Amino acid sequence: MKHKFTALAAAATLAIGTVAHAAEHNILILPDAYFPAITYMEPGDTVRFTNVSGSNQSIIAKNNDWVIGPIAPDSEVTMVIETGVQKTFYNKDLTNDDGTYSVEGKMSFSAAPLN
């Protein structure tokens, strides 16, 4: 009986150790960039956009799928990233002469590179 209990305890410990936990990722909004430029995550994770640019900032996803802002200086906004969300985003207020956005950030569900 003792061996059965030990095996069940080991199985329970293994199952508990493999429970997935959502992570939180921080993206800094700079005057002319996002840091990091690419954030690696999994669906269900939370992204915290923190505005350290010194001025109001708005973020718009590619194809206008989602918009955040304006975000005041030294403020932050969080969002949960679900499967299917548009992962490329831009600074809504900074555009090139041809109307394209000049500051781009990305989120990726791929594994982060090791280098």
How is the chain split into domains, by residue range? 22-108
pTM: 0.78
Give the Cα-Cα-Cα angle 34, 81, 45 (nearest 5 degrees).
90
Q: What does the pLDDT read at residue 21? A: 75
In what helix (H) or strand (E) does residue 34 lie, and over which residues does it extend?
strand 34-35
Residue 65 DSSP class: S
In what helix (H) or strand (E) does residue 76 lie, and over which residues does it extend?
strand 76-80
Fold of 22-108: Immunoglobulin-like (2.60.40)
Contact 46, 82 (CB under 8 A): no
Q: What does the pLDDT read at residue 114? A: 85
What strands lie across the sheet with 57-61, from one edge to the other? 38-40, 104-108, 88-91, 57-61, 67-71
CA nearest neighbour of 104 among 71, 72, 70, 60: 60
pLDDT in tens, 27-68: 999 999 999 999 999 999 999 999 999 999 999 999 999 999
C-alpha to C-alpha distances, 27 to 5, 6, 14, 30, 43, nearest whole angstrom: 46, 45, 33, 9, 16
